[in-house]
Amino acid sequence: GAGVSQTPSNKVTEKGKYVELRCDPISGHTALYWYRQSLGQGPEFLIYFQGTGAADDSGLPNDRFFAVRPEGSVSTLKIQRTERGDSAVYLCASSPWGGLTEAFFGQGTRLTVV
C-alpha cells in the first residue's frame, strides 16, 4: 500500500481516557499534517510537521492535544482526558516537501468519546 495509513480506523473511548492515533505517511514524504473533521464540517487544521519538528501547531485546540513525529516518518496524535467534544474524524495528510497541492490524505480515524 503506497497511501497514507491511519490506525485505528475507529476508536471508541470513555470520557477522561487517553488515546493515541497513528499516521503512517507515504514513504519519503517530509511534510505531515493532522486535521480534525467534525460531522457536517470541513477539516480543521491541527498541526504541521516538517521532518521531525512541529513547524506549526497553531491549530491544536488546547494542551490536552499533542503530536509527535520522532523519526520524521510515523506520527502519533495524543489526546489526554478526552471529552465528548473531541469526537470527530482525525485526518492525516503527507506531502513530499510541504506543498499542500501534493498532499495525500489518509482515510481518517473516527474517534467517538462516550
Q: Which residues bind another protein (CB under 8 A)?
A: 4, 33, 40-45, 48, 55-56, 58-59, 91, 93, 98, 100-108, 110
Q: What is the DSSP code (8-state) at residue 62?
A: S
**Residue 48 CB neighbours (<10 A):** 21
Pick 37 or 76: Cβ nearer another protein? 37
Pick 55 or 81: Cβ nearer another protein? 55
Pick 79 or 106: Cβ nearer another protein? 106
Q: How far is the CB of 18 from another protein (least distance, A)?
A: 25
Q: What is the DSSP code (8-state) at residue 86?
A: G
How far apart CA 63 and CA 8 sit, in angstroms, is 23
Q: How far is the CB of 80 from another protein (least distance, A)?
A: 23
Q: How far is the CB of 88 from another protein (least distance, A)?
A: 13
Pick 80 or 107: Cβ nearer another protein? 107
**Which three-class secondary structure string do you get for 6-51?**
EECCEEEECCCCCEEEEEECCCCCCEEEEEEECCCCCCEEEEEEEC
Contact 79, 62 (CB under 8 A): no
Q: How far is the CB of 58 from another protein (least distance, A)?
A: 8
